[in-house]
Amino acid sequence: MKLAIQENLLPGRTLAEKLAAAERLGFEGGEFWGHGIRARVKEIKDALSR
């Protein structure tokens, strides 16, 4: 079974830190906050490309 986690439940100050924590903890997916997501597209793309 693949597990995902909401970004607000992960440790870290930046999205990149949160995604690194998710990977370290064994999660294979994530859910981003919907509020204000259009303004965060570049941040999300950058963090996912690392």
Helix (H) or strand (E) holding 27: none
Question: What pLDDT score does 50 carry?
Answer: 84
Reported as a single tens digit per residue, the pLDDT across 1-50 is 999 999 999 999 999 999 999 999 999 999 999 999 999 999 999 999 98
Instruction: Output the 3-class SS for the chain.
Output: CCCEEEHHHCCCCCHHHHHHHHHHCCCCEEECCCCCHHHHHHHHHHHHCC
Helical packing angle, 15-24 and 41-48, nearest 10°: 40
pTM here is 0.85
CB atoms within 10 A of CB 5: 17
SS3 24: helix
Reported as a single tens digit per residue, the pLDDT across 15-25 is 999 999 999 99
Question: What pLDDT score does 8 carry?
Answer: 96
